[in-house]
Amino acid sequence: MAKNKSLLREYAEIVLFTVLLFIVIRAEVVQAFRIPSESMEATLQVGDFLLVNKFIYGPGIPFTDIRMPAWRDPEPGDILVFPYPRNPAQMFIKRCIAVAGQKVEIRDKRVYVDDVLVENPPHVKFDDPTVRAAPRSTRDNWGPKIVPAGTLFVMGDNRDYSSDSRYWGFVDTKDVVGNAFVIYWSWERHRNDPELVWQSSRPLESVASLAYVLGYNIAHVPWRVRWNRIGRIVM
Point out the residues that are catalytic: 39, 94
Give the Cα separation of 113 and 95 in Å (integer). 14
124: which residues sit within 8 A by CB, 6+ positions away? 42, 43, 157, 158, 159
The span from the CA of 6 to the CA of 93, in Å, is 48
Cα of first residue to Cα of last residue in the chain, in angstroms, is 58
Of 87, 86, 187, 104, nearest to 95 by C-alpha is 104
Peptide bond into 135 cis (omega under 30): yes
